[in-house]
């Protein structure tokens, strides 16, 4: 097995290799075919192909010379106005030497830019529109100021579906000679929540231990409690067994290193599978939100989790 990070090793190099986002890829491929494109804004969760698509666009436009005509900056590292005034402007004011009449600047995580930097970026996009195109990437488009959004074609990315994640897992398993069953693939999809980067990291971590990847190994490597463990905790609450519910949750957290916030998120997912009155499920989900808010604000996670389980018991009394 090569000593490489799989997220780079298996990064798609063509439009056809990118899984999911077909509605976006069709439009972007049309831009490449016409050798022209507007400024674009890619918005969506992490690990679903925004950076990969930007790189493929650059390679399709410029071929082997894409490095000299493509500038990639991560705005979360350099989020001040000086980045726009110096690095971006210096690159934008020079013309492309290729048949394509513009260069491409890719700003990753641009929702981390300060508002002053975004205002400076807006002016730069206007001034250098003849010889530069911007590809902006963000997790939350609401954090991008309206003047920038109005200058871009906005593309909303969505997490990959189960069948697409399975295809990626099967492809990697074939190349790396891994044995992985359906339950383990389902577990990887559950843990990753459509994030391909996390899928590949979990697979690489599991493969370092054994080429036979099981459901248990996936949950252990991802430091996540198995759904059955969390469901058992909730079942004890519905039976009004507070002590047993508390002990089982504590055991699951200690065995997996689960944080309080992660525990609440897993509990919230499993509530919907409980065979109880719908109004009780709604009340339990509401309490999960309150518990998570208190933890984020700094409350002791074990006290909050005990209070959450106690509330569940009272709801089901």
Task: Specify whether 152 is located in the same domain as 186.
Answer: no
Task: Specify whether 86 is located in the same domain as 166.
Answer: no
Asked if 122 and 147 touch (Cβ cutoff 8 Å), the reply is yes
Residues, the chain: 317
Task: Specify whether 244 is located in the same domain as 177.
Answer: no
Task: Specify whether 52 is located in the same domain as 92.
Answer: yes
What is the C-alpha separation between 189 and 169, in angstroms, rounded? 10
Query: Residue 93 to residues 169, 175, 205, 311: CA-CA distances in angstroms?
Result: 43, 44, 44, 61
In a domain, 2, yes or no: no
| pLDDT at res. 41 | 94
In a domain, 16, yes or no: no
Question: What's CA 80's distance to the chain center, in Å?
Answer: 24
Task: Specify whether 210 is located in the same domain as 311.
Answer: no
Greatest Cα pair distance in the chain: 74
For the record, the structure tokens of 275 come out as 């065979």
Task: Specify whether 122 is located in the same domain as 179.
Answer: no
Rounded to 5°, the CA angle 161-162-168 comes to: 95
Range(s) of the domain holding residue 76: 21-156
What is the C-alpha separation between 134 and 103, in angstroms, rounded? 9
| CATH number of the domain to which 192 belongs | 1.10.8.60
Per-residue pLDDT of the chain (317 residues; tens, 9 = 90+): 455 677 788 888 888 888 888 889 999 999 988 888 999 999 998 888 899 999 999 999 888 888 888 988 876 666 566 666 677 778 877 777 767 888 898 988 888 888 888 888 888 888 888 888 999 999 988 999 999 999 999 999 988 888 999 999 999 999 989 899 889 999 999 888 888 889 999 998 898 888 899 888 888 888 888 888 999 999 999 999 999 999 999 998 888 888 889 899 999 999 998 889 999 999 999 999 999 999 999 999 999 999 999 999 999 88
Asked if 128 and 93 touch (Cβ cutoff 8 Å), the reply is yes
pLDDT in tens, 2-39: 556 777 888 888 888 888 888 899 999 999 888 889 99
| pLDDT at res. 9 | 81
**Count of the separate structural domains present in the chain:** 3
| CATH number of the domain to which 112 belongs | 3.40.50.300
| pLDDT at res. 1 | 42
């Amino acid at each position: 097995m090569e000593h490489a990070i799989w997220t780079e090793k298996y990064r798609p190099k063509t439009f056809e290799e990118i899984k999911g986002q077909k509605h976006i890829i069709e439009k972007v491929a049309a831009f490449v075919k016409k050798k022209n494109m507007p400024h674009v804004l890619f918005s969506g969760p992490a690990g679903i192909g925004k950076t990969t698509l930007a790189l493929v666009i650059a390679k399709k436009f410029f071929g082997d010379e894409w490095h000299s005509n493509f500038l990639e900056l991560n705005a979360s590292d350099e989020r001040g106005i000086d980045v726009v005034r110096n690095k971006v402007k210096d690159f934008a004011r020079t013309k492309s030497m290729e048949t394509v009449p513009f260069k491409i600047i890719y700003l990753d995580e641009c929702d981390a830019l300060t508002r002053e930097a975004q205002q400076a970026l807006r002016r730069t996009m206007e001034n250098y529109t003849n010889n530069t195109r911007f590809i902006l990437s963000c997790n939350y488009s609401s954090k991008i100021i309206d003047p920038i959004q109005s200058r871009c074609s906005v593309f909303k990315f969505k997490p990959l579906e189960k069948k697409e994640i399975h295809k990626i897992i099967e492809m990697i398993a074939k190349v790396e000679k891994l044995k992985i069953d359906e339950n383990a693939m389902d577990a990887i999809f559950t843990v990753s929540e459509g994030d391909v980067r996390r899928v590949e990291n979990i697979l690489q971590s599991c493969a370092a231990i054994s080429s036979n990847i099981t459901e248990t190994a996936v949950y252990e490597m991802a430091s996540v409690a198995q759904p059955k463990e969390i469901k058992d905790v909730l079942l004890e609450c519905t039976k009004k067994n507070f002590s047993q519910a508390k002990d089982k949750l504590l055991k699951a957290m200690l065995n997996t290193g689960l944080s309080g916030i992660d525990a609440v998120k897993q509990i919230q997912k499993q509530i919907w599978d409980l065979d109880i009155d719908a109004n009780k499920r709604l009340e339990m989900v509401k309490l999960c939100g309150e518990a998570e808010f208190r933890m984020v604000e700094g409350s002791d996670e074990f006290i909050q989790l005990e209070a959450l389980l106690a509330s569940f018991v009272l709801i089901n009394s």
